[in-house]
Structure 1
Amino acid sequence: MAVKDRDRFSTATRIRLIGEQTAARVYRSQTKRQARRSRLTGRAALLALVLCSLVVALAYPMRQYVSQRAEIADQQREQDETRRRVERLRDLKARWQDDAYAEQEIRRRLHHVMPGETGYIVIDPAGAGTTRGDLRAADRPWYANVWDGVDKADAASQ
């Protein structure tokens, strides 16, 4: 028994036992890590596949949604602009239905003078040297101004 005890407590035996225990621990930890790593890798691959398929499946509808929202915003902006324009035109129509406003505009635009009134045209001294082809509205007859107004209105509608 003394030989076995001595053999059991020898340095070589102890080192061999420590090496075997260490190797067993390393092997166990490696197998656990490999098992955990292989399980996580399979799960991660499946998760990545599911996420990629969701991204691919949702990419086109999301693009359509974003483009439709932009189109809706453009249409609403256009609608607001059209509403404001209609409101301005209604105001202008209401003003033209007022006889006083119509008379004022006729006098201003056509240089119309009521019977019994005397019309005056004030010539600007700075513009006194204008040539015959460069006449201002005040220097031309009223019918030329009316015709120019018709031409301008026709050009604006085109």
Structure 2
Amino acid sequence: MPASNARASAKWLRGIRFSWFSLVMLGLVVLGVLVVAPTLHLYIDQQHQIVRLEQSNADTAKKVTDLNKQVADWSDPDYIKAQARQRLLFVMPGETSYLVIDDRPPAPKKNDAPVSSSIQATKSDWLSSLAGSFLTAGLTDQTAAQLSR
């Protein structure tokens, strides 16, 4: 039986005829794929790079806008006065500044006793328990309803 299959497939292969035109066209298709594939890969890489650079440009433009806003804020004398009052605690002439330091009562002490005075070892090996659970679940003949009981 196998010998007859081999003869039939050999006869079928001998029956296939390629014309010169089909061989030339097949060669051109293979050559085209070999020429276009690296170019296409390069094109896709360049498109990804363009997207990354556009995102970087957008991020940089946002940073420039934020910095321009900060420059405009620091050019305003009222903003500078407000920052000096807030950050450096400056006051205008004739004003009195009151600074309250730690006006809250001390927090009550919590029991800071250690949880354990010695290191304790577990009583079971979790890795072998996990492996046993997988093997039991995979090799059982019971149904889900029987296992859930």
1:56-135 equivalence runs, <5 A = 56-126=34-104
* Among candidates 1, 10, 25, match of residue 47 of structure 1: 25
Per-residue deviation at 1:70?
A: 1.1
Structure 1 runs not aligned, ≥5 long: 1-32, 130-158
Closer, same or farther: CA 128–90 of 1 in aligned 2, 3 Å: farther
Alpha-carbon distance between aligned partners in 1 of 2:91 and 2:29, rounded to the nearest angstrom: 82
The secondary structure found in structure 2 opposite 1:66 is helix
Corresponding position: 1:38 with 2:17: yes
Per-residue deviation at 1:64?
A: 1.3
Closer, same or farther: CA 86–97 of 1 in aligned 2, 3 Å: same
Per-residue deviation at 1:126?
A: 4.7
The secondary structure found in structure 2 opposite 1:100 is helix
Which has the bigger relative contact order, CA under 8 A and spacing at least 6? 1
Kindly tell me the number of residue pairs found equivalent between the two proteins. 96
Per-residue deviation at 1:44?
A: 4.6
Code of the aligned partner of 1:80: A
Closer, same or farther: CA 54–127 of 1 in aligned 2, 3 Å: farther
Compute the RMSD of aligned alpha carbons.
Answer: 3.0
The secondary structure found in structure 1 opposite 2:90 is coil
Q: Who wins on radius of gyration, i.e. which is larger?
A: 1
Q: Matched residues, percent identical? A: 26
The secondary structure found in structure 1 opposite 2:46 is helix
Deviation sequence 1:82-136 (CA, Å, 0-9, x none):
000000111111111111111001111111111111111122445979xxxxxxx
Deviation sequence 1:44-94 (CA, Å, 0-9, x none):
543332221111111221111111111111111000000000001111111
TM-score, normalised via structure 1 length: 0.52
